[in-house]
Amino acid sequence: MTYMTEERRLIQQQAREFTMREVLPVANRLDPVEGDIPMELREKLGEMGYFGILIAEEYGGLGLGCFEYCLITEELARGWMSVASIIARGNSLIGMEKLSEEQRRHYLPKVARGELLGAFSMSEPNAGSDIANISCRAKKDGDSYIINGNKYWCTFADGADFLIVIARTGDPKPGRRHEGLTAFMIPKKRGELPPGVKGAPIPKIGYFGWKTWELAFDDCRVPKEYVVGEEGKGFYLATHGLEKARAHTAARAIGLARGALEDSIEYANSRVQFNQPISQFQAIRFKIAQMATEVEAARQLNYFVCSEIDSGRRCDLEASMVKLFASEMAERVTSEGIQIHGGAGYTKLHAVERYWRDARLTKIFEGTSEIQQRIISDRLLGR
């Protein structure tokens, strides 16, 4: 199958040039000091249409598919994974598909331009992969709900213009632990947390460019019109579109691995030891050959998954496979990149250490590698 049309090649080339010109220099400057993605760069992403790749043209988006979304994502991740991630705050934020037509026409054009971005708050100290264990509660109070409880791992909670929060509105029946969860949209001022919410950034080893928060909801009042979808159906909302999210994560992992590969090739050709470039040594050449092969294998599998998603065919099995394979691959390839750089790779003077730190996260978020293995084995073994 021929995946790359001329239009897609142009989209890819444009994203590649944008990344090398606008994203990579900012990442090299700000990631070592744990600085945030500048508003100027966010505005440029909006001008490129990257927050609205998946949003229909009638709402101001580009109206493209998952394939184009992941093409652009790989390029952006080659510069800075956080930038490849922030575009999801417009393209595929959970709950957007459940907005009313009136809400769509109000919100989506602003989202597509990057003027209105959200953050997703689902995980808790005791609820990560086990979504059904959510204990943060939302109690009906007249025309509002009052939310109390703790949330964890909410990236971009401060910089977003609204939060999508999953809270428990009802007690589950035996054997139906996933029931009783509801999604809420909480508008807020950019740069602040909503009224009734306090929080603190979580210290991380990577994924810089924005902060990841732990949040405490203390009588946070949300008007009932900000319920997203049906009350009690938040579990299905949270798990909807996981195929696309996992393809997006695979694309981020591939971009990181490609960054390590390309930087390693450049370094190996310029680093001289024993009177010759280290690229002349078989040990280095074979590392690069293996790295390139693994990157391409992951990319081709992701192309297949994206094409299946865009065709409307079910591919949850393959989406888990590519998320598992690409994230595990990215950690191996970026680690080899550090090895090729030697001592220089263990410094913040080279981007390869950033790719390595961020690649490690791809094995955890959007479902850990172990969760993907559970999904894959369950499907294959008929469970």
Q: Is residue 287 pLDDT above 90, yes or no?
A: yes
Domain boundaries, the chain: 6-112, 118-231, 239-380
**Tens digit of pLDDT for each residue in 117-156?**
999 999 999 988 888 889 999 999 999 999 999 999 999 9
In the prediction, which pLDDT does 339 show?
Answer: 98
Average pLDDT over residues 72-100: 91
**Tens digit of pLDDT for each residue in 163-172?**
999 999 998 7
> How much is the CA Rg of the chain, to the nearest whole Å?
21
Average pLDDT over residues 251-266: 98
**Tens digit of pLDDT for each residue in 19-58?**
999 999 999 999 999 999 999 999 999 999 999 999 999 9
Q: Which architecture characterizes domain 118-231 according to CATH?
A: Beta Barrel (2.40)
Q: Is residue 115 pLDDT above 90, yes or no?
A: yes
Query: Of the listed 101, 353, 366, 370, which one is catalytic?
Result: 366
Sequence-distant (≥ 6) Cβ neighbours of residue 156 within 8 angstroms? 86, 89, 117, 119, 210, 211, 212
Map residue 155 onto helix, strand or coil: strand
Q: How far apart are CA 29 and CA 22, in angstroms?
A: 12
**Tens digit of pLDDT for each residue in 170-215?**
987 777 877 899 999 999 999 999 999 999 999 999 999 999 999 9
Classify 215 in phi/psi space as left (phi over 0), alpha (psi -120 to 50) or beta: beta
Q: How far apart are CA 56 and CA 62, in angstroms?
A: 6
Sequence-distant (≥ 6) Cβ neighbours of residue 15 within 8 angstroms? 48, 50, 71, 72, 75, 76
Q: Is residue 1 pLDDT above 70, yes or no?
A: no
Instruction: Judge: domain 239-380, CATH 3.60.15.10.
Output: no
Average pLDDT over residues 247-251: 98
User: Which pLDDT band, with edges at 50, 70 and 90, does 383 fall under?
Assistant: confident
In the prediction, which pLDDT does 281 show?
Answer: 98
* 3-state helix/strand/coil string of 12-42: HHHHHHHHHHHHHHHHHHHHHHCCCCCHHHH
Handedness of CA 44, 45, 51, 53 (dihedral sign): positive
| Average pLDDT of the residues of the chain | 95
Q: What percent of the chain has pLDDT over 70?
A: 100
- Residue (of 367, 364, 84) closest to 209 by Cα position: 84
Which pair of structure tokens corresponds to residue 183?
A: 């999604």
CATH among 3.30.360.10, 1.10.730.10, 3.40.50.720, 1.10.540.10 for 6-112: 1.10.540.10
Which pair of structure tokens corresponds to residue 382?
A: 């008929």
User: Which pLDDT band, with edges at 50, 70 and 90, does 2 fall under?
Assistant: confident
**Tens digit of pLDDT for each residue in 210-231?**
999 999 999 999 999 999 999 9
Q: Does 192 qualify as catalytic in the annotation?
A: no
Same fold across 6-112 and 118-231: no
